[in-house]
Amino acid sequence: MGKLNDKMKADLELTGAAPGTINAYLGCCRRFAVHFSKSPAKMGSVEIRDYLLHLKERGLCAGTTNVSRAALCFLYRTTLQRPEEVEALPRRRQEKKLPTVLSGSEVEHVLNATTSEKHRTIIMLGYGAGLRVSEICRLEVRDIDSKRMTLHIRETKNRQERYVPLSAPLLKQLRIYWKKERPKGSHVFPGRKLNKPLSRSAVRRALKATVGKAGIAKQATPHTFRHSYATHMLEMGVDIRTLQVLLGHASLSSTIRYLHISTARLQSLPNPLELLGTPKGSTLG
C-alpha cells in the first residue's frame, strides 16, 4: 500500500489507537490489497463486500471478519475520505461464547508444573490480579506499590487507568522473581530489545507449553487466568460493580457474562421443580 499505508498509520495514531489495533488494521488492509492485486484507492464497495464474503467462505470466525470490516471502514471513511463506500456495509453477527474457566485445583496444577519463576509470576498476575496479557507485559517496576499493596495499571485496552489490589502471595512471588532474574530496564518483564516489554506471543507460547505439561485438557490461554479470576471473585462474594472496576471494563455488560459461568452461583439458585409437592410449591403462580 506504500504511501497509503503510511497515511493510514498516521491517522490511526492521531485517534490514539493502541499499537496492537494499528498493526491489526494495517495488516487487514494490506491483505485486502494483495487479494485483488490493486490499491484500495482504486477499489470500492463492490470489492469490499466481495472480500468480506471471501473471508466468511474461508471459514474465518465472525470476530476476525469484523476486524477486517472495521479496518476497511476506517480506511475508506478517514484515510481515503470516501465514507459512501462503507456506508451500508453490514456487520456479521457474532456468536457469543462463554470463556473457558479453570477451577482452583487446575490453576494449582498449572503453577506446580511451572519451572520458570517468570512464568509463575505471569500466571499469578493473571489469576491473582485479573490482568490482561498486554497489561502484564507492559507492567513497570514503578507500578508496584508494596506500601499501599496496589498495582497501578496504566496502559489499558480502553485507556482507563486503574488500581488493583496486590495480594501478599503475589508480592512475595514478584520479589522471588526479581531476586532471581534481576531484569534490566523499567519493565518487570523486559523483552529482547532494550526498553521493550516482553511480547504477548512469547507469553502465549510459554503458557501453552506449561498448561500442556500440567495435563489440563481445556483450551487455556493467558486470558483464561483473567477469566478464572473474575469468576472466582464472584463466587467469593465480590459484587458485580466492584468486579467491573477491578477488571477495567468500560461496560458492565462485559462483566455480567461471568455471572453465567459461575458454577457456585448456578448451584445456589432455587429451582421450581424442587418445590413441587411442598407447601412452597403450592404458592407458585
Q: Is 226 a catalytic residue?
A: yes
- Residue intervals of the chain classified under CATH 1.10.443.10 are 104-267
DSSP 209-253: HHHHHTT--S---HHHHHHHHHHHHHHTT--HHHHHHHHT-SSHH
Could you confirm whether domain 104-267 is CATH 3.40.630.10? no
Read off the amino acid at residue 12. L
Residue from 30, 118, 157, 204 carrying the catalytic annotation: 157
Sequence-separated (6 or more) residues with CB below 8 Å from residue 128:
167, 169, 170, 229
Whole-model pTM over 0.85: no
- Residue intervals of the chain classified under CATH 1.10.150.130 are 3-85
Torsion over CA: 117, 118, 123, 128 (sign)? positive
Q: Is 132 a catalytic residue?
A: yes
Predicted confidence pLDDT, tens digits, the chain (285 residues): 789 999 999 999 999 888 889 999 999 999 999 999 999 999 999 999 999 999 999 999 898 999 999 999 999 999 999 999 999 899 998 777 788 999 999 999 999 999 999 999 999 999 999 999 999 999 999 999 999 999 999 877 767 899 999 999 999 999 999 999 999 889 999 998 878 899 999 999 999 899 989 999 898 999 999 999 999 998 888 999 999 999 999 888 888 888 777 766 667 767 777 777 788 766 666
Residue from 69, 132, 227, 232 carrying the catalytic annotation: 132
Burial-class residue 118 by CB neighbours within 10 Å (0-12, 13-18, 19+).
Answer: middle
Residue from 69, 109, 226, 232 carrying the catalytic annotation: 226
Q: Is 127 a catalytic residue?
A: no
Q: Is 227 a catalytic residue?
A: no
CATH of domain 3-85: 1.10.150.130
